[in-house]
Structure 1
Amino acid sequence: MSRQNLGYLLLALLGFILFFSASHWRTNTPMPASAAIEGRVVIAAPVLLVLFGGDRFLAANLETMRLAATGVDWGLADTDYLVRAQQVVAELNPCHEDNYYLANGLLTWGGAYREGREVLRRASVCRFWDEYPPFFYGFNKFFFERDVTVAATYLEKAASRATLNAAGFRKLAIMLKAEQIEDERLALEFLQSERDQASDSKLKVMLDKRVQRLRGLVVLRDAQRRFEARVGKPLAEPEQLIEEGLLSAFPEDPLQLGYEFINKRFVLKKMKVAGVEE
C-alpha cells in the first residue's frame, strides 16, 4: 500500500474514532431536568419589519426557520417561546404555511391549545384556497371543546375547498351532528336524509355505511325493549335476545367495528386510540 493511501486510511480511522467517541458521550450524557431555556428573545413584529426593510414575508420566513430550529431541545418543546414566536409570525404573515403546521403540531397538541387555535383561525381566513387550516381548526374545536356547531362549520368550509378530501370532511361534519342526537331513530332519519341529499357519490357511499350501522343499533335496542316488556326485567346478556327468538342473529356492522352492551344498553362500538380515550 502506498504511503498516500495509508495516510487516507489513517485519517478515515481517526474520523471514525472521533465520531464513535462523540456518539458514546452523547448517549451517556443525562438529559437536563428542564428543557426550557430562559432568556430566549422574540422580536416584536414592528421591529422585525424595520430590520428587514419592510418585507413582512421575508421577516416571517426567517422567524419561522428560527423557531423551527430552536423551539425544541432534547426532544421537548419550549412552549412559552413557541407561543410568542408563532404569534409574531402570524401577525407578520397569517398565510404562512409552515407556521400553521407548526402551530397545530407544537402548540395545539403541546399544551397551548388556545394559542395554536388562533394561528389556525388566521390561516383559515388568509389561505382561502387551503382546506387544511379549517380542517385542523374544526377538528380541534370538537376534540378540545366539544363545540359541534363551530367544528361542523369549519369542516364544511374545508370540504368546500377540498378536492380529494371533500367527501371525508363532509362525512365527519355530518357524523358530529348525528352523534348529538340522543334518540337513535331521529339520528337515523337525519343520516338517511343527508345520504339521500348527497350529490357526491363517494359521500353517499360513506353515509350509507353509517346508515346501515345505525340501523343495526336501532334493531338491537328495539329487540331489547320487546324483551324487557315480555320478561319484565332488564336484559342481562345480549344472547338472551336470540334465546327468546327476538333476533335470529345480531346485525352486522359494515364498518366492522360492531356494537357493545355497556351498562345494560347497546351502543356503537368505537375505535379506541391509546392515550386519547375519554
Structure 2
Amino acid sequence: MHNRLPKSVIHLLSVVCLILAFLYANKQLEPRPRDKTRDYLSIYFPAPAQLIQSFGDRFLATNVNTLRSFTVGVDILPPETVATQALLQRDAAFFNPYNSDNYYLAAATLPWNGHLTEAQYILKKANNALTQDPLPAFFYAFNVLHFEKNTELAAQSLRDSARKIKDEHTKTALNALAAQWLANKKTTRAAQTLRIMAKETKNKNFSKFLENKALRLEILISLNNQKRQWEKTNQKKINTINEAISSGLQLKEIKDPLGGTLIIDPKGEFNFKDLK
C-alpha cells in the first residue's frame, strides 16, 4: 500500500503554492516606488541617416518613425521627447505622406504640445497626397482656426480641399463647415464669400442655403451697426429685444431667411436663434 499522494494532487498543491507565493511577493512590493521603464525618445538622426538605417527604403523609414512615435505613450512627456517625436513624424511625412497613422497621431498630439509648425507640415503633406480623405483638410483648417485664430484662412483651406474631393456629400460637408465658420465671423467679407460659394456649388439646395446664410449675415451686420450707433449716440445699452423696439429700431419687418428667431445674445449683439 502506497502512502504517496496522487500526482494530480501534487500538481494542484504546487500551483496553489506558486499562486500564494506570487500574491505574497506582489503584496510586499506594493508600497515600494516603481521606476518608470519607458525608454523616452531622446535621439534624433537626420533623414539621410534614417534612410541608411532602413536600407534605403523610405516606406520602412516611415513605419519605423511612426512606430517609435506611437510607443512613447499618451501621458505627460518631457519637452525633448515631444520635440524628437515632432521631427520623426515630420520626416515620416516627407518619406511617405500617404501614411494615415502618422497624420492621425500628429493631429492628436503635436499642436497641443507646442509643435504646430510640424503638425501643419504633416497635415498639409497628407492633404495633398490623400486628396479624397477629408480628415487632413479638417485637422489642418481646425488648427488654423483654433491656434492661429484666422477664420477666413481656415475656411479657405476647407474650400480648397473640397474642390479636390469627388464625393459630393463630403464636398458639401466641408463647404458647410467653412460656411459656418464664416457666418460666426459676422463680416461683410464673410457674407460675400458665402455668395461666391453659393455660385460655385452644383448642389441647388446647398446653394440656396448659402444664399440664405449670406442674407442672414447681412441682416445681422446691419442691425448690429444700427444698435452700436444708437448706443453711442444715447450713451445707453440695449439689452433686450423690447428695449430695441422701444429705442426705435425697426425690427418688426425683420425675418430670418433660415427661419430662426431674432434675439440679443449674451454678448449684447443681435443674433438669430435656430429652431430645433
TM-score (ref. length: structure 2): 0.68
Alignment-mate amino acid for residue 75 of structure 1: I
Counterpart of 1:275 in structure 2 is none
1:91 and 1:17, CA in 2 relative to 1: closer, same or farther beyond 3 A?
farther
Q: Do 1:156 and 1:170's aligned partners in 2 also have CA atoms closer than 8 Å?
A: yes
Gap change, CA 1:41 and 1:257, over 3 Å in 2:
farther
Corresponding residue of 1:274: none
* Identity across matched positions, percent: 25
Q: Does 1:266 align with 2:273?
A: no
- The equivalent of 1:4 in structure 2 is 11
Task: Pick the aligned partner of 1:171 from 176, 183, 205.
Answer: 176
Match of residue 56, structure 1, among 52, 55, 58: 58
Q: State TM-score, norm by structure 1.
A: 0.67
Equivalent in the alignment of 2:117 = 114
1:47-85 Cα offsets, whole Å, 9 max, x none, are 232232221101211221112113x47533622211222
Distance 1:255 1:44, change over 3 A: farther
Do the aligned partners of 1:209 and 1:255 also contact (CA within 8 Å) in 2? no
Cross-structure match for 1:241: 244
- CA deviations on 1:98-140 (whole Å, 9 max, x unpaired) are 1112222221221111121112122222223322222222221
Provide the residue aligned with 2:105 in structure 1.
102
Please report how far the alpha carbon of residue 170 of structure 1 lies from its aligned counterpart in structure 2 after TM superposition.
0.4
Residue 95 (structure 2) pairs with residue 92 (structure 1): yes
Is the 2:198–2:207 contact (alpha carbons within 8 Å) kept by the matching residues of 1? yes
Specify whether residues 103 and 10 from structure 1 end up closer, same or farther in structure 2 by C-alpha distance, changes over 3 A only: same
Rounded to whole Å, the distance in 1 between the matches of 2:35 and 2:177 is 45
Change (3 A) 1:87 1:182: closer
**Deviations 1:188-231 (CA, angstroms, capped at 9, x unpaired):** 676467457643367458647846864774696488589x49x9
1:156 shift after superposition: 1.9
8 Å CA contact retained: 1:90, 1:99: yes
TM-aligned CA deviation for residue 89 of structure 1: 1.6
Q: Gaps (5+ residues) in structure 2?
A: 1-7
Structure 1 residue 17 displacement after superposition? 4.9
Checking the alignment, whether the CA contact within 8 Å between 1:209 and 1:254 is kept in structure 2 is: no
Q: Which segment is superposed worse, 55-64 or 4-13?
A: 4-13
Residues in 2 aligned to 1:244 and 1:149: alpha-carbon distance in whole angstroms: 34
